Amino acid sequence: MKKSQTEERKILLRRFFYDDRRLHKLGKASKQEWFDDFDYKFGKDDYAYFAMEEKEDALKMLANPTEVNDEKFISALNEIGLSKYRGIDCFTGKYYYLDNKTGIFKVDNKQDDIREEVFGVLKDTKGRAYYFLKAIIELYKEDKWDKAYGGATWIDILAKIRDLKGIYPAPRDIAIVGSYQIYYKTGSRRYPTHTIPEEMILIVDIELEKWKKNMGE
């Protein structure tokens, strides 16, 4: 489940540049000539979008460090900036980091911050959040996150906790977990889902297992 630099870029792009018009602007800002072919299309039509294959090609190009080096990539990200509407408003990976205070993307490994967050949430819930977070991760590994909204549904989480022979989380514990930046409630009001940002999953999983081992379980 180890994430490569290319995979981490794809997660970042899908989170903050899912909109085709913003993706086109990002490609232009990164000085990739391939995007010039779509200038007329996006300039003429406010509702223009990439075809499915075109979007995959755009993501593949921008995610490839040999096509777009880190200097160009980060410069382009910050030139276009964050959108006004976004769900998960953080990014804390092995290669890239979003400074929430400034809204600036950086090349930085902030995984120690994730480790501290996991320790904090387990400490504050006296370990009760373990099975809730573990269930979300296991459902991700099994490719059982919601296809439309991402994240795991509440019903699937409870079923997975039961499979893991764990304890169900109390509402207070969910509120505590939500105060940390390793968990987000996603989806919609009608179809809510529960998410650990993808770039964090590996480290969160490792830290959960360290905690379980130290507890002698």
Q: Is 93 exposed, middle or buried (0-12, 13-18, 19+ CB in 10 A)?
A: buried
Asked whether the predicted pLDDT for residue 214 surpasses 90, the reply is: no
Q: If DSSP codes are grouped into helix, strand and coil, which group holds residue 195?
A: strand
Tokens of 69: 């080096």
**What local confidence, expressed as pLDDT, does residue 83 receive?**
86
**What local confidence, expressed as pLDDT, does residue 105 receive?**
97
**What local confidence, expressed as pLDDT, does residue 60 receive?**
96
For the residues 120-145, what does the mean pLDDT come to? Answer: 97
Which residues pair with residue 187 across a beta bridge? 192
Asked whether the predicted pLDDT for residue 35 surpasses 80, the reply is: yes
**What local confidence, expressed as pLDDT, does residue 217 receive?**
58
**What local confidence, expressed as pLDDT, does residue 147 receive?**
87
CA distance 134 to 137: 5
Task: Give the other-Cβ count within 10 Å of 88's Cβ.
Answer: 16
Task: Convert the pLDDT of each residue in 42-94 to its tens digit.
Answer: 999 889 999 999 999 999 999 999 999 999 999 999 999 998 766 788 999 99
Task: Convert the pLDDT of each residue in 145-203 to its tens digit.
Answer: 998 889 999 999 999 999 999 999 999 999 999 999 999 999 988 999 999 999 999 99
**What local confidence, expressed as pLDDT, does residue 2 receive?**
59
**What local confidence, expressed as pLDDT, does residue 159 receive?**
97
- Alpha carbon separation from 130 to 92, 155, 162, 188, 204 (Å, rounded): 20, 17, 13, 25, 10
Class of 112-214 in CATH? mainly alpha
pLDDT bracket for residue 215 (50, 70, 90): confident
pLDDT bracket for residue 38 (50, 70, 90): very high
Asked whether the predicted pLDDT for residue 1 surpasses 80, the reply is: no
CB 128 within 8 A of CB 195: no
Task: Convert the pLDDT of each residue in 85-120 to its tens digit.
Answer: 667 889 999 999 999 899 999 999 999 999 999 999
Closest CA to 185 of 86, 93, 88: 88
Degrees to nearest 5, angle at CA 37 with 34 and 42: 115
Q: Where are the beta strands (DSSP E) in the chain?
A: 96-99, 104-107, 184-187, 192-195
CB 200 within 8 A of CB 114: yes
